[in-house]
Amino acid sequence: MKRLLLVLSGLILSTVTFAQWSLRADTITSPGLVTSPSATADLNVKNFMRNKSAADGTFEWKLNKLNAVLPTGWTIDGVCDNNTCYYATDLNATQTANPITVGDSGLLEVRYKIAPGAAVNQTAIAVVDCITPSGNMTAVYIAQNNVTGLKSYATNDKLLVYPVPANNEIFVVATDKKMEMTEIHVINLVGALQIKQPFQKDNAVNKVDISGLTKGVYMVQLKNKSGEVVMTKKVIKA
């Protein structure tokens, strides 16, 4: 019996330590530029993959081009891991990072290029899908050039809505795939439904057209298949 308990406790311990790979944050946001560039500008947004498991290991990643949101004049120039930086056609393939020792972190950075004359008050979003020993993860990189005086920040908030304030469209970023969300609702402050659309669970970023709304404050709700509200976020229509 003691031997069986030791084996079981070892299995439990290995399961706990195995599930210790994680991103520094689900979403990284950078304030970007505050004026229109006169020459091509670079904007790099950094995240990190952490290995807190019991063994050295590595992870794979791929840029999810279908979920990218790029304003006019913006491009994703490259993605860098702890091995090298990848550009052009290399971004179409799955890449493998260098091994990360226990307790260490590995770089995972998205590099944007912004063309001369690109408009301000823009939001760019890149999505990188990761495969780790702990399972699949999604890293979201948001660059904004409509704010001043802010530093880059990281968040594990499971629901983000950009930009704020918004004019014609918003981007709903939901990183928790376990919530089984099925619908996006936009309601006004008295609870009246203004917009309803399916939540595309295969997309890290869902776009919602709010051009028909009047100026004011609204709430974005994500609902599950039972009709329950599982996440809520405020948005301002400018």
Residue 180 confidence (pLDDT): 79
- pLDDT for 34 equals 60
**pLDDT value for 109:** 96
Question: pTM, whole model, 2 decimals?
Answer: 0.74
CATH topology identical between 21-155 and 157-238:
yes
Are 46 and 160 spatial neighbours (Cβ–Cβ below 8 Å)?
no
Q: Shortest CA distance to 141 belongs to which of 192, 83, 77?
A: 77
- With 0-12 / 13-18 / 19 or more C-beta atoms within 10 angstroms meaning exposed / middle / buried, residue 100 is buried
pLDDT averaged over 10-residue windows placed end to end, the chain, 238 residues: 41 43 87 73 92 95 90 94 94 96 96 88 88 91 66 64 85 76 93 94 85 94 89 88
- What ranges do the domains of the chain cover? 21-155, 157-238
Say how far apart CA 89 and CA 230 lie, in whole Å: 39
Planar angle of CA 3, 4, 5, nearest 5 degrees: 90
Residue 161 CB: number of other CB atoms within 10 A?
24
pLDDT for 216 equals 93
Taking the domain 21-155, which CATH number applies?
2.60.40.10
- CA dihedral over 228, 29, 238, 121, signed as positive or negative: negative
CB-CB contact of 56 with 110 (8 Å): no
The residue type found at 149 is G
Q: Please report the DSSP string for 160-206 in residue order.
A: EEESSSBSSEEEEEE--GGG-EEEEEEE-TT--EEEEEE--TT-SEE
The listed CATH number (3.40.30.10, 1.10.8.640, 2.60.40.1930, 3.90.1150.10) that belongs to domain 157-238: 2.60.40.1930
pLDDT at 73: 92
Q: For position 86, what pLDDT does the model report? A: 97
Residue 142 CA to residue 27 CA, distance in Å, equals 7
Instruction: Collect all residues with Cβ–Cβ distance below 8 Å to 84 and sequence separation of at least 6.
Output: none
Report the pLDDT value the prediction gives residue 176, as an integer from 0 to 100. Answer: 67
Q: What is the pLDDT of residue 210?
A: 95
| pLDDT at residue 150, as a whole number | 46
pLDDT of amino acid 187: 95
